[in-house]
Amino acid sequence: MIGSFNARLVARFAAIPALTLFLGACSSMSLPSFSSNEPPPPTEPGVAPEMPATIRADEIVGRWGLASFQNPADRPRTEKAARDQCKQPYVIGAGQSGGVIMHLADQATPQELRLKGSPSGKNYIGPPGPTPGEQDREIVSFDGRVLITRFVDKDAGVRYGNMVYVRCAPRA
């Protein structure tokens, strides 16, 4: 049996959470403002529509030799190494919904990615979502024959470097 002292102690401790909830509810209520000098509260920015890239998906579909470099001075040597990889090309396929089939960083299975533009004029390859997203790769340069990309994610960018894709000659 609980003594009267213990019952009062339990009741006091039970009242604390109830009072906290009550005060929290009061503080979240807003009173109407009759002053016209106050600016309206800022609205949440909406998600901007995805911008089209200046490079079309069909321009990068095909067979590519692949290599990478960290030091920009290594680019010519890396392009030659990528060309030599055409014996075992990296294939960029066409996606069913207009994208391209490529690998994301550290993913064993390729998936359909989109080519996305940005207000700054840069192009990206990545999954649907904000541009640039953490899983996107920026298209550093593309001339139709050589495609150079770099992952947006800093860690992946350091590990993979600048990815050089050199278009392989058509099969004979």
Instruction: Round to whole Å and give the CA distance between 20 and 81.
Output: 67
Instruction: Round to whole Å and give the CA distance between 32 and 61.
Output: 59
pLDDT of residue 106: 95
Residue 97 has pLDDT above 50, yes or no: yes
Alpha-helical regions (H) of the chain:
4-28, 57-60, 75-84, 154-160
Question: Which tokens belong to 77?
Answer: 């040597």
For the segment 111-139, what is each residue's pLDDT rounded down to a tens digit? Answer: 999 999 999 999 999 999 999 999 999 99
Cα dihedral 104/100/164/82 (nearest 10): 110
pLDDT of residue 170: 85
pLDDT of residue 45: 44
